[in-house]
Amino acid sequence: GLWDRPLRPGGSWQLFGGPVWPIHGAGATKAAPFDREFHLLINSAIGGDFFPDDAVNGNGRKPWSRQSSNPMLDFWNGRNQWLGSWNMHTDWSHFLIDYVRVWAL
């Protein structure tokens, strides 16, 4: 898991060959960045450039590219590739949050 990965020099993780997430300096603890006050953001991130252009899942390659002038339209136009995986008759494809629990260590 994320917490088992060693910190890189300067205190950061790199996952999936993607972005480096900076932590609070070289003296960061394993609890960083959550050993300081932070904001919790919960969203459904569709599109964007988190996934590289050659990313593939069970439904094939992502239907937009980082160089596209209209990636949202590309995503929608590629719906025949991903829409079948969204079960529109149940809550399985909906973004539902029952509760969030946060506590101090």
The string of DSSP codes covering 16-28 is TT--EEE-SSTT-
26 shares its domain with 45: no
Asked whether 95 and 44 are in contact (CB, 8 A), the reply is yes
Give the range of the structural domain holding residue 27, as residue numbers without chain letter. Answer: 1-36
Euclidean distance between CA atoms 89 and 14, whole angstroms: 37
Same domain for 46 and 73: yes
CA dist 27 → 31, 39, 50 (Å): 11, 21, 27
With cut-offs at 50, 70 and 90, classify the pLDDT of residue 105. low
In the chain, the amino acid numbered 12 is S
Domains of the chain: total = 2
* pLDDT higher than threshold 60 for residue 28: yes
| Percent of the chain residues past pLDDT 90, beyond the cut | 9
Same domain, 53 and 104: yes
Average pLDDT over residues 47-60: 78
